[in-house]
Structure 1
Amino acid sequence: MSRRWILDAAGAVFAEDGFESATMKRIAEACDVSKVTIYAHYRDKAQLYGAVMDSHLASLPVAGLHMHGTLDLGDALMRINDGIGRLAANPSCQAFCRTLSRSDHARAVYMEHWRAVLQPYFDLAEQAMATASAGSLHSSDSEKFLRLILAEHGLPNRATPMSGSHATVALFVRAYAQRPSDAWQAPPERG
């Protein structure tokens, strides 16, 4: 019985049940071994959970995002979207996020790891928006954009508190203000 086999089976159980509801007995059954065999490799459920989550994190694709000089805002935002899409399609990311959403154990620790995974995407969004903005940049526009993209791909959002919906309004106003003299007009009232 290899550790990898145990990690894979435990990962499936944790993803389905979460840390709190998963049992070493159920994990052993999923591995088709005894609990003694599991305990021979991992002293307790918390250590096994940590090994599973660390394994998921180690298997995530690296962002590899850079502005590369003349990249415009649209290109940068599409690069972020594509990178988040690849992340969301990764089986380790899917398992990590499912497990994290179903578990309270060490949530703060693993949310911090998740924030570190997302940091390159946030940095590129911030850099691209700062480069594209002729006026003042609202400090949370890039984070709001990333939150929207993460939600679109079904991934957990960053846990950092944000300023609120006015950042979303500012983002879209700034984006549409650059359209040539298409002043927004309210639709005519019905009736």
Structure 2
Amino acid sequence: MIDDPDRHASKMAKKKAARDKIMATKTGEKGLVIVHTGKGKGKSSAAFGMIFRCIAHDMKCAVVQYIKGGMDCGERDLITARFADICEFHTMGEGFTWETQDRTRDIEMAQAAWEKSKELIRDPANRMVLLDEINIALRYDYLDVTEVVAFLRDEKPDTTHVVLTGRNAKDELIDLADLVTEMELVKHPFRSGIKAQKGVEF
């Protein structure tokens, strides 16, 4: 800790000069492939935060939900009620795999969600497309990861950001992505008998 204000100011000036030098080299822009994965909470929450940023900047965007189905979802309720003109929202899943217990149906729904996803990503008007819980569909091989990676690599418009969430992201997807964040589970109230709560989990 530096108590001398002059020493502190000098140190911060040096840090700022070094930072400005680094920032001057960062001039590129591109549509990113962003993956949120890991066992920790917050993957979809962080992704919806980016969707709301797009909405705040008046940037057209879209969401496809792969797994959550008819569950309550505060983000969906808010977007469809107030921002449907700028953000399309498609809930294509029918619930978690242990609830549906019908692999054939789950595959059909995932394939339909992927077709809708491709349509939305191909539309250059959409600056960001969130594929919520697609990693779950890929994990269970409801979708072919090779096809998904090839599409994102070869057909995604240059300025479109695509965000993919869910645990156990496939290595092929991580290799392709520009930004990957793994949410680490340190502590969770579920382990102490606390159920999912409105405003925190949904």
Q: Could you tell me the TM-score, scaled by structure 1's length?
A: 0.27
Q: Which has the higher contact order (CA 8 A, sep 6+)?
A: 2
Which has the larger share of helix?
A: 1
Q: Could you tell me the TM-score, scaled by structure 2's length?
A: 0.26
